[in-house]
Amino acid sequence: MTTLQDCRALDAQDPLAPLRAHFSLPEGVIYLDGNSLGVLPRATAARVADVVTREWGQDLIKSWNSAGWVSMPQRLGNQLAPLIGAGTNEVVCTDSTSINLYKVLSAALSIAREDSPARRRVVSERSNFPTDLYIAEGLCKERGLELVLVEPEDIGAALTDDVAVLMLTHVNYRTGAMHDMAAITAAAHAAGILCVWDLAHSAGAVPVDLRGADADFSIGCGYKYLNGGPGAPAFVWVNPRHANRFWQPLSGWFGHAAPFQFTPDYQPAAGITRYLCGTQPMISLSALQCGLDVFDAAQPLGGMAALRTKSLALSDLFIRLVEERCDGFGLGLATPRAHAQRGSQVCLTRDEGAGIDGQGSGAYAIVQALIARNVIGDFRKGDGGTGRHKDILRFGFTPLYVGFEDVWNAVEHLRQVLAGAEWQRPEFNQQHAVT
Amino acid sequence: MTTLQDCRALDAQDPLAPLRAHFSLPEGVIYLDGNSLGVLPRATAARVADVVTREWGQDLIKSWNSAGWVSMPQRLGNQLAPLIGAGTNEVVCTDSTSINLYKVLSAALSIAREDSPARRRVVSERSNFPTDLYIAEGLCKERGLELVLVEPEDIGAALTDDVAVLMLTHVNYRTGAMHDMAAITAAAHAAGILCVWDLAHSAGAVPVDLRGADADFSIGCGYKYLNGGPGAPAFVWVNPRHANRFWQPLSGWFGHAAPFQFTPDYQPAAGITRYLCGTQPMISLSALQCGLDVFDAAQPLGGMAALRTKSLALSDLFIRLVEERCDGFGLGLATPRAHAQRGSQVCLTRDEGAGIDGQGSGAYAIVQALIARNVIGDFRKGDGGTGRHKDILRFGFTPLYVGFEDVWNAVEHLRQVLAGAEWQRPEFNQQHAVT
């Protein structure tokens, strides 16, 4: 049996432990929701204040040049690139994940179908994050194409010669299951299909090698593991072999070859800059930069490889402790045990009918009871027993700021919530809008 | 002749003078570039700091509910609505102007062409702000339609029965000329054409009555006269008669009827909410809110009507002083004298060949020399004498924080720059990227 002392010993030996000091964590909170909204880096408040009061307030319009505002999306893109296996000048930080997906999926479809007009399908995973599916649905409708949704085990069989683009999220938001990006991309390419990868739950969480996997297009989120703040700008990567072939449809002036020439006709900038659209948000981008700076600080401590080692150690520990200490309460494991198939979160299930008076799973109430104890995870609803998706208790393990004793304490709170039937209190069973 | 004392008397009588205290203006700067980047409201730094350190840093994911993050775009939209003659729940603040234009132009084209598929043209003004033209060009190319660009005097004749959408910017960014929104919209509607209005240089600058003009779609900018900060979120308005008819193509989860149900298929929210796409940027939206708050403070002082009166008085004064005191230096007036045709900026021209050794107009160097004297306007390049567009010296007059003595001082600096040939110094004649 694992003990609290074992966990403390792991913290004492953790070479990444100093990184926690880069964050401003609320006192007494065990935050296991960095997969939804990352925490505040300690440097962000001062940086944002400087952008607001000096760059904007004092220097005003001059800051487009003097503070380097005009190239912020590219500079942050270059800072982010090593985390996702991208090269220099291949990434820009801009807009939202959904908007960036629209850009790359548009471009991918244009390229794939120029070569092979008979390819009329986009394949994705049925449990992909919904906004990805909504964007794909809209684009397919607009272009008279078909969106085909499959279960993960059926992806291989779905790669037929009428498919233009395979669009997947690398790590599943509900289960934490991670795809083999290189193998799937290779299979897709062998079938003449382009691959779009959403790295929302990967960038900053697991090592990603877009170049190594020879991926085609990729987008991802700035406010989860990159700690860029609520609604932070997202990012876009395009394989250089595609970058100059098409321009994405959101052809605004920041993607123009010479935006300050104010010419009436659009000439796309070379490379990834054409994936910018309108004027870029400087306060938000500056906050995101502080999130990326922490990864620079992690570099001498081993970088993404060391972060991955710790992340797996944390999630392994969580799984082990739940199984050792919360047995008999109807919990199951939705996240794969195999390291190669696991992102940086662990998702527990609870059986339908395990809730109060046999209603529902009780998973929502358990998460609420944990939140009341300052253990922050989140709940994702299942399909109510009608299909393969159970209700989910979701816990993200961000190795930048989560320690091994945190994991012990989280499981101990979970045990107490379950053993004392605390989750059955009425206040934890009133559902309202949650993210 | 107008005197400095006259200007001081105007300031002393100005009922809006107290509004200047709502802004944090750099010491000694006369800022006439609020049409490019508005200045920093005094409340913004503290509000942004609170969002960063408390709402994000302390309350983390809970703030989506507890701080009302989830409804920020709609709340700010309702706060903005009175400035543009929109009703409640008809506006959202989100994304960039360019992206919002893509949304509304897409929807407008879908609606117009569903009713009349033979309408295959989008008409706009050749000197519309380029990003608007780039977005329209991209959409037309994507849908096999034609973008027709005309001079302002030819708009009426261009409203033929093959036109689907007329897309105009209300106040021209180069000249400050303002269209008659009601008359043009009526003419377009009489020809069966839908109208999209860009309010980038109107919202917060001149009274706008979208409902009164019976406009169809509108978008605008948050970082100019609304003082939302560099790259602030923009806004979208859709006439309620169109809002539920189509969904715009950027169909992300924040525009879904039930985003937190995580259903795989897209069901657009009712009304304007469907014009949202991805996760919204809370730090930027909070900064924009502080800009909008100043307009709330202006309400008891007479609101937009009083601001308009002062704006016209400021720009009238500027024109008069330039003509009285800077005669003989080759300056001309690009902005209409008629109040009904003028926005909140005055644009001066300078003849081609008036620059050093007869090269260019010298307008760029004059603007640089003014900036060195802390009089901030900006330069917009003409067509080099090949067509109708001369080089422009652009001066925005934001009645919230610009006073009449500021106008006197700005013109006096301009006179000195011209009279002393200060603008001919080499350092003012080296061009680099400017916004």
Residue A200 to chain B, least CA–CA distance (Å): 12
Q: Which ranges of A116-256 would DSSP assign to H, the alpha helix?
A: 130-143, 155-158, 181-190, 240-243
Which pLDDT score, from 0 to 100, does residue A387 have? 73
A265, A298, A331 — which closes off a domain? A298
Which of the following is catalytic: B224, B310, B350, B373? B224
Do A277 and A323 fall into the same domain?
Answer: no
Which of the following is catalytic: B198, B216, B378, B391? B198
Q: What is the DSSP letter of A388?
A: S
Residues from chain A that touch B225, judged by Cβ atoms under 8 A, are: none
Residue A198 annotated as lining a ligand binding site: yes
Q: Encoding tokens for residue A33?
A: 């929701």
Q: Encoding tokens for residue B265?
A: 């298929």
CB-nearest to B253 from A126, A131, A234 is A131
Do A228 and A120 fall into the same domain?
Answer: yes
Do A92 and A27 fall into the same domain?
Answer: no
Residues from chain B that touch A138, judged by Cβ atoms under 8 A, are: 247, 249-251, 266
Residue B55 to chain A, least CA–CA distance (Å): 10
B298, B326, B346 — which closes off a domain? B298
Which of the following is catalytic: B119, B394, B406, B428? B394
Residues from chain B that touch A264, judged by Cβ atoms under 8 A, are: 126-128, 130, 133, 149
Closest CA to B88 of B211, B194, B182: B211
Residue list for the binding site of B for pyridoxal 5'-phosphate: 97-98, 129-132, 169, 198, 201, 223, 253, 279
For an interface test with B, give the residue of A131, A132, A379 to mutate (most B CBs within 10 A). Answer: A131
**B435 occurs within a structural domain:** no
Q: What is the DSSP letter of B39?
A: P
Residue B286 to chain A, least CA–CA distance (Å): 11
Q: In this structure, are residues A179 and A152 in contact, taking their beta carbons and an 8 Å threshold?
A: yes
Residues from chain A that touch B122, judged by Cβ atoms under 8 A, are: none
Q: In this structure, are residues B125 and B152 in contact, taking their beta carbons and an 8 Å threshold?
A: yes
Q: What is the CATH number of the domain that holds A416?
A: 3.90.1150.10
Task: Determine the 3-state secondary structure of A116 from DSSP.
Answer: coil
For an interface test with A, give the residue of B131, B367, B375 to mutate (most A CBs within 10 A). Answer: B131
Q: In this structure, are residues B324 and B2 in contact, taking their beta carbons and an 8 Å threshold?
A: yes
Do A312 and A369 fall into the same domain?
Answer: yes
- Distances in whole angstroms, Cα of residue B102 to Cα of each of A276, B109, B179, B313: 14, 10, 22, 36
Residues from chain B that touch A279, judged by Cβ atoms under 8 A, are: 96-98, 221, 223, 230-231
Do B266 and B325 fall into the same domain?
Answer: no
**B319 occurs within a structural domain:** yes
Element (H, E) at A194: strand A194-198
For an interface test with A, give the residue of B277, B289, B367, B380 to mutate (most A CBs within 10 A). Answer: B277
Do B130 and B222 fall into the same domain?
Answer: yes
**Residue A223 known to be catalytic:** yes
Strands B194-198, B163-169: pairing is parallel
CB-nearest to B278 from A45, A98, A376 is A98
Q: In this structure, are residues B273 and A141 in contact, taking their beta carbons and an 8 Å threshold?
A: no
Which pLDDT score, from 0 to 100, does residue B387 have? 73
Give φ, ψ of A230 to 5 degrees.
-60, 120
For an interface test with B, give the residue of A42, A284, A392 to mutate (most B CBs within 10 A). Answer: A284
End-to-end CA distance of chain A: give it in Å, rounded: 35
Cβ of B26 within 8 Å of Cβ of A57? The answer is yes
**A288 occurs within a structural domain:** yes
Strands A163-169, A121-125: pairing is parallel
Closest CA to B368 of B377, B381, B356, B380: B377
Which pLDDT score, from 0 to 100, does residue A435 have? 46
**Residue B379 known to be catalytic:** no
Residues contacting A110, CB < 8 A, separation 6+? A246
Which pLDDT score, from 0 to 100, does residue A392 have? 93
3-state secondary structure B64-118: HHHCCHHHHHHHHHHHHHHHHCCCCCCEEEECCHHHHHHHHHHHHHHHHHHHCCC
Residue A253 annotated as lining a ligand binding site: yes
Residue A124 annotated as lining a ligand binding site: no
Do B173 and B290 fall into the same domain?
Answer: yes
Q: What is the DSSP letter of A38?
A: P
Which pLDDT score, from 0 to 100, does residue B345 have? 97
Residues from chain A that touch B64, judged by Cβ atoms under 8 A, are: 230, 433-435
E-strand stretches of B187-231: 194-198, 217-220
Q: What is the CATH number of the domain that holds A144?
A: 3.40.640.10
Q: What is the mean pLDDT of chain A?
A: 96
**Residue A235 known to be catalytic:** no
Q: Encoding tokens for residue B297?
A: 């403070």
Do A124 and A268 fall into the same domain?
Answer: yes
**A67 occurs within a structural domain:** yes
- Distances in whole angstroms, Cα of residue A82 to Cα of each of A195, A215, B425: 20, 15, 45
Angle at B426 between CA B422 and CA B427, to 5 degrees: 90
Residue A401 to chain B, least CA–CA distance (Å): 13
Which pLDDT score, from 0 to 100, does residue A185 have? 98
Closest CA to A334 of A355, A324, A312, A319: A319
Number of domains in chain B: 2
**B169 occurs within a structural domain:** yes
Task: Determine the 3-state secondary structure of A227 from DSSP.
Answer: coil
**Residue A293 known to be catalytic:** no
Q: For A347, how many CA atoms within 13 A lie in the half-sphere containing its CB?
A: 25
Q: In this structure, are residues B196 and B166 in contact, taking their beta carbons and an 8 Å threshold?
A: yes
CA-nearest residue of chain A to B135?
A: A251
| Distance in angstroms (rounded) separating the CA atoms of residues A297 and A25 | 18
Q: In this structure, are residues A346 and A318 in contact, taking their beta carbons and an 8 Å threshold?
A: yes
**A374 occurs within a structural domain:** yes
Which of the following is catalytic: A23, A102, A173, A223? A223
B276, B298, B320 — which closes off a domain? B298
Provide the residue range defining the domain that includes B271: 46-298
Do B279 and B400 fall into the same domain?
Answer: no
Residues from chain A that touch B57, judged by Cβ atoms under 8 A, are: 24, 26, 39-40, 45
Task: Determine the 3-state secondary structure of B12 from DSSP.
Answer: helix
Q: In this structure, are residues B321 and B407 in contact, taking their beta carbons and an 8 Å threshold?
A: yes
Residue A201 annotated as lining a ligand binding site: yes
CB-nearest to A56 from B229, B263, B278 is B229
Cβ of A264 within 8 Å of Cβ of B133? The answer is yes
Do A148 and A191 fall into the same domain?
Answer: yes
**A435 occurs within a structural domain:** no
Q: In this structure, are residues B303 and B57 in contact, taking their beta carbons and an 8 Å threshold?
A: no
Do A240 and A293 fall into the same domain?
Answer: yes
Closest CA to A309 of A14, A96, A39, A9: A14
Residue A254: alpha-carbon gap to chain centroid = 25
Element (H, E) at B124: strand B121-125
* Predicted complex ipTM: 0.97
Do A256 and A131 fall into the same domain?
Answer: yes
Cβ of B26 within 8 Å of Cβ of A60? The answer is yes
Which pLDDT score, from 0 to 100, does residue A25 have? 95
Which of the following is catalytic: B23, B31, B102, B129? B129
**Residue A198 known to be catalytic:** yes
Cβ of B56 within 8 Å of Cβ of A49? The answer is no
Please give the full DSSP string across B333-370, using - where no structure is assigned: E-S-SSGGGB-SEEEEEE-TT-SGGG-S-SHHHHHHHH
Count of residues in chain A:
435
Residues from chain A that touch B285, judged by Cβ atoms under 8 A, are: 231
Could you tell me the mean pLDDT of each successive run of 10 residues in chain A, 435 residues long? Answer: 97 98 97 97 98 98 96 98 98 98 97 95 96 97 96 97 98 96 98 98 98 98 98 98 93 94 92 97 98 98 98 98 96 97 97 88 96 96 80 96 98 97 92 55
**A37 occurs within a structural domain:** no
Residue list for the binding site of B: 97-98, 129-132, 169, 198, 201, 223, 253, 279
> pLDDT tens string for chain B (435 positions)?
999 999 999 999 999 999 999 999 999 999 999 999 999 999 999 999 999 999 999 999 999 999 999 999 999 999 999 999 999 999 999 999 999 999 999 999 999 999 899 999 999 999 999 999 999 999 999 999 999 999 999 999 999 999 999 999 999 999 999 999 999 999 999 999 999 999 999 999 999 999 999 999 999 999 999 999 999 999 999 999 999 998 899 999 999 999 988 888 999 999 999 999 999 999 999 999 999 999 999 999 999 999 999 999 999 999 999 999 999 999 999 999 999 999 999 999 998 888 998 888 999 999 999 999 999 999 998 877 777 788 999 999 999 999 999 999 999 999 999 999 899 999 999 876 444
